[in-house]
Amino acid sequence: MIELNGKQQKARATKMEMRALAMREELWPEVVEELLWDRKKAHGFTTMPRTTTYVMNIIDTLSKGQPAGMTYLTIWCRLFFTGIVELPSEKQMAFEAGFTGERAVDTWRKRMRHLKRLGFIDYKAGTDHDFQWVLIPNPHHVVLRLGTKVQERYRAAWRDRAVEVGAKDLGTPPEVTVQKQVVAVKDVGVTQVGAPAIVRRRGSPKA
């Protein structure tokens, strides 16, 4: 995949925006700006990967008959700071996820446990409830870690969409790279003799 530099990306975005605006004026000439939601002017929005709907589908297929994709989306919709979010009451979160009735909160808790089991979130208790603080790792890394646990057609569709939007986080998950670096360090002996250091691989003959 050919990567665009910052200037090229900006030019491409501008071209796409101009085309979209032209098509909107052509197809809906009666619609005025005031009727539309504009992220540049409005408040109360978050940022999420364009692949989120594909991630939600993957989550639903792995939730053992208890689809948790919508629960995942409600967490993202509350995200403000990178990777961490404080959730309000369990009852409110359950309602946002579409669960009602006497067992709404219990159902929501089960979905949260599914998300943690799959690696899409982690959570810690706060003063209000056990799921108050939620950590959200990079979902692309999570899908990569799940590997063949994800059905092939869902994994292929997710990757196609990720490539289409120019995602740059489809390589080896970072913790795998760190593990390889640790192994490499353990496999190398470093002996300081004055300066600079002499690096000797274990098992190699001494000078």
Residue that wins the pLDDT comparison between 5 and 27: 27
Q: Is the pLDDT of residue 121 over 60?
A: yes
Task: Say yes or no: 84 and 184 in one domain.
Answer: no
Do 154 and 186 have their domain in common?
Answer: no
The pLDDT mean for the chain works out to: 85
Residue 2's pLDDT band (cuts 50, 70, 90): low
What is the number of structural domains in the chain? 2
Higher pLDDT, residue 106 or 201: 106
Tokens of 125: 């208790």
Answer whether residue 194 is part of any domain: yes
pLDDT score of 16 more than 90: no
Q: Return the percentage of the chain with pLDDT > 70, whole number.
A: 78
User: Residue 192: is its pLDDT beyond 70?
Assistant: no
Look up the CATH number of the domain holding residue 82: 1.10.10.10
Residue 199 confidence (pLDDT): 42
Same domain, 149 and 75: yes
pLDDT digits 0-9 by tens, 56-65:
999 999 998 9
**Is residue 151 domain-shared with residue 183, that is, in the same domain?**
no
- Does residue 193 lie within any of the structural domains? yes
Q: Which of 83-97, 139-153, 173-187 has the least mean pLDDT?
A: 173-187
Give every CB contact of residue 18 below 8 A, 6+ residues apart in sequence: none
SS3 content of the chain, % helix, strand, coil (to 5): 50, 10, 40
Q: What are phi and psi of 197, to 5 degrees?
A: -75, 150
> What is the C-alpha R_g of the chain?
23
144 with 205, same domain?
no
The angle subtended at Cα 52 by Cα 47 and Cα 57, nearest 5°, is 160
**Residue 66: partners with Cβ closer than 8 Å, 6 or more residues away:** 107, 110, 111, 114
Which domain does 61 fall in, by range?
A: 52-164
For residues 205 and 122, membership in a common domain is answered with no
In a domain, 131, yes or no: yes
Do both 114 and 70 map to the same domain?
yes
Residues 65 and 154 grouped into a single domain: yes
154: helix, strand or coil:
helix
- Assigned domain for 207 exists: yes
Please, what is the Cα angle at 141 between 136 and 146, to 5 degrees?
105
User: Is the domain of 101 the same as that of 160?
Assistant: yes
Does residue 21 sit within a domain?
no
Q: Report if residue 140 sits inside a domain.
A: yes
Instruction: Using the predicted structure, report yes or no on whether residue 172 has a pLDDT greater than 70.
Output: yes
146-160 mean pLDDT: 97
Q: Residue 6 — very low, low, confident or very high, per pLDDT cuts 50/70/90?
A: low
- pLDDT above 50: residue 203: yes
CA distance 13 to 48: 18
Distances (CA, A) of 75 to 17, 42, 90: 29, 20, 12
Give the sheet arrangement for strand 84-86, strand by strand.
Answer: 84-86, 133-135, 122-124
DSSP 47-80: ---TTHHHHHHHHHHTSTTS--HHHHHHHHTT--
